[in-house]
Chain A
């Protein structure tokens, strides 16, 4: 029942490969998501793109009024919207690529663009 007698060299090699695959996959999935770049806003057939790096407040005209979108410290959220339930406000801050929020009653859609796909694709091929 001695471990060093049971475990052979190739075992260790395979174990290390296992750990390496897990680490690489973890980094590509959780770490290397790419820098979030732009905020894309869509409303009433129009599109706006703003940089996430620059703090600002935008008033977007929707079906029922103005949706207030705030960009601050590399994050963005819907600060206010003329809808009854305020679900869009409750969706909170977006910071990663492909995060999104929407105010359906007012017809405003908000998402973060970014090239997070490259590294994950490289692993899967």
Chain B
């Protein structure tokens, strides 16, 4: 019972961090509206080590909602894009983390998440809005996504290695 409530607290806190990072991301000027750095994925990367699968999915769902609220896109068609992108990339990150275990670091997880999210959004853009011309921005879109995912993944990996707070949380979960 104690561990369940601890985990629920952790979900709430990481979801709040997702909203916080969405807001930071929203403040950073971007040349195109749908270019993302993916800062809000940082709590999800950390959650991979701290939460059960079901709670991670719950966190992903909360992140989608929080991001929609912060960006003001919750009731617009753009929300469909970010929701589909996050749900697919979150699931992909979770699956790769489970399947590869110690053979993968957060850099790889983050790269995979960015690729899945961006491809899903490109395919949606192709079918619902821009038609075939959507793919013309594909390569630069994916390159920027790859670079920012590398940086973010590296940062997350360092955080997981060095954070005393993280070590404490992880220790309490396992022990």
Interface residues of A (CB under 8 A from B): 6-15, 17-19, 21-22, 25-26, 28-30, 117, 120-121, 123-124
Contacts and interface: CB of A to CB of B under 8 A. Distances in A.
Given A8-B102, A18-B115, A29 B108 contact: no
A11 B138 contact: no
Looking at chain B's contact residues, the main secondary structure is: helix
B64 to A, nearest CB: 23
A18 B157 CA distance: 19
Contacts, number: 71
Which 8 A-B pairs rank lowest in CB-CB distance, beginning with the nearest?
Answer: A11-B108, A10-B104, A14-B108, A26-B139, A10-B100, A10-B103, A25-B138, A8-B105
A18 B105 contact: no
B1 to A, nearest CB: 36
A29 B139 contact: yes
B69 to A, nearest CB: 30
27 contacts: A6-B105, A6-B157, A7-B107, A8-B100, A8-B103, A8-B104, A9-B103, A10-B100, A10-B103, A10-B104, A11-B105, A11-B108, A12-B108, A14-B108, A14-B111, A15-B108, A15-B111, A17-B112, A22-B139, A22-B142, A22-B143, A22-B146, A26-B139, A29-B135, A117-B132, A120-B132, A124-B126
